[in-house]
Amino acid sequence: MTDSTERGLAQPVRPTPVATRHGMWGTGPGDVSGYGGLRRPIIRHERAARPYGGYFDAVADRLRQLVPDLPEDFVGVDRGEMTAYVPRDLLPATVQATRDDPRLRFEVCVSVSGVHYPDEPGAELHAVYELLSVTHNRRLRLEVTAPDADPVIPSVTGTYPMANWHERETWDMFGIIFSGHPALTRILMPDDWNGHPQRKDYPLGGIPVEFKGAKVPPPDQRRSY
């Protein structure tokens, strides 16, 4: 079994705790999950230092050549995985380069997902893109942020049509507006649903459920442990 040094990869960056999350959810109404006593550090990984290792340096250098406005410290490497942190205005040019350049050729956008960091002012909403190169057998993650006050990120459907459904789900669950999407409508919740259920500030309450003559109240109306 080889470690990251033997495989030529950068050493994992030590995570830095920035705050402490209380309970299962951290915010919102009383935690009725039974994990209200949990205390967990909230960590952020710092940008990686060169050499990144493996194919990561070549991918980073080529991206900077094709999209020269990318910041110098846009690469993070942790646990043998590479993440490119891309400003949202540079996302269209970046995905076009990752797909079309012969030295990159990330032909597949495997998924688009969202993350909500309510304690990160100005970058509360994160969109994460998992890219796959079939040609070179490589993987690359892109991460883009947007503030709650302006939750708009350019759609990548013009470059990766398969991202259509993933962007709709991310909008539905997190409220990220993907500008330029051909039909940004809900995909999991009813069209008239209020709010975005996977945000950390979304109420735990739900719809009362009737079961064999008994009513089960929404979670935030049950006993808080």
Mean pLDDT of 66-95: 93
pLDDT at 6 over 60: no
Q: Tell me, what's the pLDDT at 4?
A: 44
| Among the ranges given (42-46, 90-94, 123-127, 205-209), the one the predictor scored with the smallest mean pLDDT | 205-209
Mean pLDDT of 91-109: 97
Q: Is pLDDT larger for residue 49 or for residue 156?
A: 156
The CA angle 39-45-47, to the nearest 5 degrees, is 165
With respect to CATH, is domain 48-221 assigned 3.30.460.80?
Answer: yes
Q: Is pLDDT larger for residue 222 or for residue 65?
A: 65
**Residue 136: both structure tokens together:** 């070179």
Per DSSP, the three-state class of 100 is: helix
Domain spans of the chain, in order of start: 48-221
**Confidence label for 9 from pLDDT (cuts 50, 70 and 90):** very low
Q: Tell me, what's the pLDDT at 175?
A: 96
**Confidence label for 46 from pLDDT (cuts 50, 70 and 90):** low
| Among the ranges given (113-127, 139-153, 154-168, 191-205), the one the predictor scored with the smallest mean pLDDT | 191-205
Distances (CA, A) of 197 to 21, 88, 189, 193: 19, 24, 9, 10
In angstroms, what is the C-alpha Rg of the chain? 20
Q: Tell me, what's the pLDDT at 10?
A: 46
The overall average pLDDT reported for the chain is: 83
